[in-house]
Amino acid sequence: MKTKPPARREVRAPDAPARPRWFDFLVQQAAGYAISPLLRLVAALLLGFAIVLLSAGWLAGPQRMIDALQYRSYTAPADGRIVDSWLAIEFDARAQGDRYNWYGGARGSACAVVEYDGDWGAPQRRAYCGNRLDVHASDNLARFVDTATMAPGVPFAMPRDARGFATPELRIDRATHDWLERHASHESRLDGSRAANAFVALRELLDRPLDDALAGWSAATPAFPLLLDPQHPGEAMPRAWVDSHRAGAGIESAFAWLLLAGGAWLWLRGMRWLMMGLPRAAVLFAAIAPLLLLPWWGERMPMALAHVNADMGEIIGDMLADLDRTGRLVASTPAQAALAGGEQLVWRVGEGADADTLGKLPFALPQPRPANADGALRALVAQATDGLRALDAEQCSALLQHLARDKHAGRYGAGWLFLPGAVAALDDGDAGLARAARDFLEAWVTQPVDEPYPEQPGFAVRVELLRPLTALPIPEIAIMAGSIVERATARAR
């Protein structure tokens, strides 16, 4: 008879002592702090690209449909006129720190206040601010000032003074002004010197009297055609803008919905990474609520993203600014326009460095207005020559001496207008005046010189002004002037 083997008895190890709760808490916190930067970076990447896709999809699809519906009632035309205009320079001085190239962090937007009449009573005024573009470099800032449109088809021009000259105006905030005055200029003048600070360098950069005079005399302030809803006359918009936005969304609408779907998917994933460990319901609410506010995101989401990751917030902000670089137009009351209350920097012909030259002579807009820049330059030279002739020998000598000093300092603008007058003064009976005229003309053709280029306004007339110098019986002037004319002629071929 078989007997069952005795049951095997299990021998248990003694229970390990329980770890204190505070120890587990510290371990969890330490692990959280260790991986938190990685989690935030992943979340910022997902959320950042989601913001770009959502914004692009909204602009290409729903926003265009909304615009088409909104502007359907804009049927009444109105003739607007620009009564104030400026270039708003937006610049984050805190983000710039001590980096010298402040142009790289600045953006410019052309703004204008437009007045229009109608049968509703007193004239209405509305402000428009157009494309906000990166400045990048000082040369670009000068081009922004000369821009003829603030958005596709929407005209823009700087104000004119009583003489018809353009008076460029920049507006900046106080923080920008203070930063510019505290930081040195790293751009050398032609004579090798530097401005006292970046603010002085900015004033010198846009001190271009000849360009401003030609811009004002060669073209009047453009008309500003508007369309408006007869029921809401105070909300007029530029005609070109309304026409372009009435079309609505076309074949790209399907692509827009794909962008929105992809952006929403990335957004939900990013919120899950950012809020890992929270209840699912809380994560869904925090993720879906911002999606419902998509039309009002604007520039706010990159600023919110900066709290998750500062670098990613800056990158996404730049990407959003590039999404619709040439299709931006913000309408508002004049007081709400960009930097409407900012500090005004205005450049007027004959002031500042030109007070002792152009500021000494009277100028008046010819009637009829010159047809182009060549005609405007001829008219300016004629008035400058007459004005120089009206001065006595001592005053004329002093003016020409100032022009020679300006040329040596790299300030060329006024000199072109006085070349014929200086040539005539060489034969004047006054020895002092003849010496001053010769000094100015020698300085004008001595390197570095203001070389004429075909893309410059009044190029043909600039070459005409130099040709008489090539026939002067003064070799130092004639030879150098001939070289300048040769180079200019070769560029024009």
Which amino acid type is present at position 457? P
> How far, in Å, CA of 144 to CA of 325, rounded?
14
Let me know: does 91 contact 172? Beta carbons within 8 Å: yes
Residue 31's pLDDT is 47
> How far, in Å, CA of 255 to CA of 253, rounded?
5
Residue from 57, 68, 65, 67 nearest 255 by CA: 57
3-state secondary structure 382-400: HHHHHHHHHCCHHHHHHHH
Token pair listed for 27? 């371990």
Q: Is the dihedral of CA 364, 366, 370, 375 positive or negative?
A: negative
146-150: list long-range contacts, CB under 8 Å, 24+ apart: 146/211, 146/215, 147/110, 148/222, 149/110, 150/109, 150/110, 150/111, 150/112, 150/329
86 φ/ψ angles, rounded to the nearest 5 degrees: -165, 170
How many CB atoms are located within 10 Å of the residue 94 CB?
Answer: 7
Residue from 82, 317, 409, 367 nearest 217 by CA: 367
How many CB atoms are located within 10 Å of the residue 72 CB?
Answer: 12
Token pair listed for 168? 């460029």
Angle between helices 252-274 and 280-292 in degrees, nearest 10: 140
Residue 326's pLDDT is 54
Element (H, E) at 131: strand 124-134
> How far, in Å, CA of 259 to CA of 53, rounded?
5
Which amino acid type is present at position 148? A
**Overall residue count recorded for the chain in this entry:** 493
3-state secondary structure 59-108: HHCHHHHHHHHHHHHCCEEEEEEEEEEEEEEEECHHHHCCCCCHHHHEEE
Domain ranges of the chain: 36-349, 352-492
> How far, in Å, CA of 186 to CA of 103, rounded?
12
- Averaged pLDDT in 10-residue chunks for the chain of 493 residues: 55 55 50 60 82 82 82 94 96 81 89 91 93 86 90 94 96 94 82 83 92 95 95 94 78 76 86 77 78 67 73 72 70 96 96 92 95 96 96 95 93 92 90 95 94 94 97 95 96 89
Q: Prior bond to 448 cis, omega within 30?
A: yes
Element (H, E) at 484: helix 475-492
> How far, in Å, CA of 472 to CA of 463, rounded?
16
Token pair listed for 44? 């910022």
> How far, in Å, CA of 109 to CA of 58, rounded?
23
Element (H, E) at 227: strand 223-229
Residue 322's pLDDT is 64
pTM over 0.75? The answer is yes
Token pair listed for 400? 């020409």
Residue 63's pLDDT is 79
Q: What is the DSSP string of 352-418?
A: GGGTTTGGGS-----SSPPSSHHHHHHHHHHHHHHHHHHS-HHHHHHHHHHHHHHHHTT--TTGGGG
Residue from 376, 353, 352 nearest 364 by CA: 376
Let me know: does 331 contact 66? Beta carbons within 8 Å: no
